[in-house]
Every structure is written in structure tokens, then in C-alpha cells.
Structure 1
Amino acid sequence: MGNSLAAIGARHQMWESTSDRLSSSSDSCGGPVVSFGQALRSAMETRDDPESLGTSSQDLADVDEQDVADSSRKSSVSAETAEKLCTIPREKGLDAQDFRCAMCRKTIGGSTFSKFETCAIDSKYYCTECMKSGGKVSIPARVVMDWDWRERAVSDRGRAWYEANQEKALINIKTTNSRLYAHAPALEETRKLREKLQLVSMYLFTCRESVSEDFRRRLWPKEYLRSEIDVYSFADLIDVKSGALQRRLNSLLKHSINHVMTCTLCKQKGFCCELCTVNEVIYPFNTESTHRCLVCFSAFHVECWRTSGDCPKCVRRQNFETRRAQVDDPHNTLLVLQP
């Protein structure tokens, strides 16, 4: 019995050790290969660490009530701005404004009072003088909801609000109107480029500090382009329409991928497809030819994944957890005691 328990204990340790090494990266590709899943998790932990954002736990503990109130107020203002950027306003009628211009309070409406126009930003009514200097612009909410870029008349106040908020990254296409990706090919192309950039950035953030800092400098001040791939400012959407954002992303991708393929450290963080015998290193950011497991981040050839559909690494982990549970179970009936 003692020998049986010792053997089980040895197998337990072996499974535990094997689990720590489980990866689709393989030495058979011509050298030691670091798990991209490990690199990805490391980069995500670094991103989510308060200290990496310049705020320590002690700093957070020292924040006074006034700072908390200010932060809450700013968050509320951002939420209000985001709603206004993504919601097409409805007219409420002149009586809701007491028949007065929303800006200068001049009496408007009817045959005996001043003429008025509707501002396309807030759907409020303004006298012709307050509308004159506003000009025409594309309305953010109509672009987000319908990809409608027609310019509409806005008031002087509406123009000021538009210019003050067009650079704020508050528009989440996925949560606001995910169908827009299918309706706007340029936006879908941009989403794919940003997904690639997010994947390749994990390599750069686990490389030398000088490399990660250079990447951040190239991306600044729009870090969200790689960290939150569905978030845009209205200025970004204008650049999507013109193609300027796609050109910038392609330039960043070209530089980043070139670094990965030439860096001694980064190029080892590739994968060997466990579903076939092709002896080549593949990388998740080559999204056209590879599929990435959403659980363990291992990469496979797209065609191999379509044929199999199961991640070998996840299967191994599941089997390991099952065996470990059996060994740890005090009522395990797998032990056969010899007389």
C-alpha cells in the first residue's frame, strides 16, 4: 500500500509539473519557444496593475473624499457626453422652450416673432442669428447609428460642443451598434487592424523596456487603439472614413511585426500547430492564417482548427484536472489495496 501511495504521489507531482509546462509552443521548431499565452497573461496583468498606470495602492488609499467626488462627477459628465454622441436627439416642440431661442432667449416662432431653425446636435430651436455662425457638420450620433455622413446645420453652441468633444474616445461601437461593422467595410477593416495591433503589442510589452516604451510613444496619445479595439472618438471615425486611421495602423503594424520577426527574444514566442506536422512557427497576429484559442491563447492553422475544433492544450489541462481531483478525493475507489 505504501508503494502504491508513493507511486500515486509521484504521478501527482509529474502531472502538476506537466501542467505548468503545457503549451502549444514546441522545441521541435528549431529552438526554445516561449508560450505566447504566458506572454499575453503577463502583459494583461501589467496593464491591469495600478502601479503600471502610475497609481500605487498607497496613493489610492490616500485619496480624500473631494477627489472621489470629483472623479464621480467627471465620470458622470463622460457618460452624458457619450450618450449624446451616440443618441439621435428628438425634437420636443417650441413650447418646451417657452417659444424662446435656446441660446440668446429671443422670442421665436409664429408669424410675428423671429424665425428659427433646429440644431442637429441637440434638436433644440435657435434663432437664425445663433444658427448662422454654426455652419454645417456631420452629426456623430447619425454616423454611429446609420453611418450617415451628411452635413446638417448646427447652432453656434452645437458647433462649440462638437469641437470640444470630437477627440474624446467615448464611442463604443460594439455596445452601441455592433451591426455597423457589417454595414461599413472601412470600419470592419479598421477593427481587424486593431485586433492585430493588440496581439502584436503583447510581444512588444514583454520585450525589452526600451522596445515597449518606443511602441507606447508611437501610439500616444491613443493607447485605446490597441487596448480597447471597439472604442473610437468621432475624430477617429472621420479618419476611418478618409482612410487616415487605417494608414496609421498599417504603419504601426509593419514596424511592430518587423521587430517581432527580427528580435531574438520576440521571435521565440511563436507557436507550433499541434494539430498538424508542419514544421513552422506561427504567430497569432497573422489572423488570416491562424486561429487563437480564446481560453489558453494557443495558436493553430485556420484549416487545422476547422478540421479538429478542439484545443489539445485545453484537453490536456482538463484531463490533468480530472486526474488530480481523483487523486485528491479521499473516497477515491481507484486505489486497489492488495492483501
Structure 2
Amino acid sequence: MRLVRRRREQLKLLGDYLGLCRSGALKELSKRLNHRNYLLESPHKYSVADLQQIADGAYEGFLDALIGFASQHVYHCDLCTQRGFICQICHHHDIIFPFEFDTTVRYVGHPTLPPPPSGPQRAPAGQGGRPGTVVQQHIEHRGCASATGR
């Protein structure tokens, strides 16, 4: 169930990116959701059909296909890529995204709170900014987070 929750969180973050994109990718993702648009709204809502698919072992494959489609769009779309982040700790040129749970760590706080003790961790890549800017978020490579003692 932990893996399902993690995949749902990834899908929510990807949905935020596609929601701001003008390419129509969100419309295509919505078709693939089979009328389950709540999957993009909250990672905590589950239908009875979702729970049945989890029990049958089919839900992870369904989520993986959605995540695969959405992440490939983000990686190849100029507009979505500009909404990624670059590391200000290691100064690596790779663009990183908050949905990359295997390689990044994400810190979320209220916008009036100061950044973590080591200073701002991410700057928006290009001129894009963050999708759904409601709270201040910092995203670090896992290696950078370890090096700063987090």
C-alpha cells in the first residue's frame, strides 16, 4: 500500500505540471484515467474500484502507465521542462522535478517561513517557476540532502 500511496503522490505532482501545460497532454491523461479525475486532485481519495484493483494487484500497473505517459511528456515538453528545478547546492546542470522521488527530496513549508538553514535549495529552471505555487518548496538531490546533513 506504501508503493501505491507513493505512486499516487507522483501522479498528483505530474498532474500539476500537465494542468499548466498548453499542449493538451492533460486532456490525453484524463482520457487514460477512465473518469477517475480525482486521482489528479488528491493522492488520498480512493474509489471502491481502486481498492478492488489494489487487491487484485492491477492498480500499480495502471498507475505506472499513467506516470510513464505524464513523465515522458514533462521531460520532452519545453514549457514543462522550464518549470523544473536546478540544484544550487551541487550546481549540476540537470533539471530535476518534485515527482522524481527516487533521486530527489522535497521539503514543503509555508511561504512566510524562511528557507531551510542551508539557504534556498532550488531556483526555477528557465523562467517557468513552480506549478501550483501555494507553498514554498525546496527540492534537493538525495546526495545533496545527505551532504547538508538533512
| 2:25 and 2:73 in contact (8 A); partners too | no
Match for residue 144 of structure 2 among 304, 307, 327? 304
Match for residue 104 of structure 2 among 270, 290, 300? 290
Q: Does 1:280 align with 2:120?
A: no
| 2:75 and 2:81 in contact (8 A); partners too | yes
Q: CA deviation at 1:233?
A: 2.2
Residue type at the aligned position of 2:37: E
Q: Which residue of 1 aligns with 2:26?
A: 212
Q: Which residue of 2 aligns with 1:259?
A: 73
Offset from partner CA, 1:209-251 (integer Å, 9 cap, x none) = 6222222222242122232212212321121122211111100
Structure 2: stretches of 5+ with no match in the other structure: 110-135
Residue type at the aligned position of 1:202: D
Between Structure 1 and Structure 2, which shows a larger proportion of strand residues? 2
Q: Does 1:268 align with 2:82?
A: yes
For normalisation by structure 1, the TM-score amounts to 0.34
Distance in 1, matches of 2:146 and 2:38, equals 32
Q: How many residues align?
A: 124
Distance in 2, matches of 1:253 and 1:189, equals 13
Distance in 2, matches of 1:190 and 1:226, equals 14
Distance in 2, matches of 1:193 and 1:203, equals 16
For 1:118-137, what aligned pairs fall within 5 Å after superposition?
Answer: none
Between Structure 1 and Structure 2, which shows a larger proportion of helix residues? 1
Q: Extract structure 1 runs of 4+ deviating beyond 6 A.
A: none
| 1:275 and 1:305 in contact (8 A); partners too | no
| RMSD, aligned α-carbons | 1.8
Partner secondary structure for residue 101 of structure 2: coil
For 1:1-339, what aligned pairs fall within 5 Å after superposition?
Answer: 187-208=1-22, 210-295=24-109, 296-308=136-148
Residue type at the aligned position of 1:194: R
Q: CA deviation at 1:283?
A: 1.1
Residue type at the aligned position of 2:137: F
Higher RCO, Cα 8 Å, sep 6+: 2
Residue type at the aligned position of 1:299: I
Q: CA deviation at 1:274?
A: 1.6
Offset from partner CA, 1:124-155 (integer Å, 9 cap, x none) = xxxxxxxxxxxxxxxxxxxxxxxxxxxxxxxx
Offset from partner CA, 1:3-57 (integer Å, 9 cap, x none) = xxxxxxxxxxxxxxxxxxxxxxxxxxxxxxxxxxxxxxxxxxxxxxxxxxxxxxx
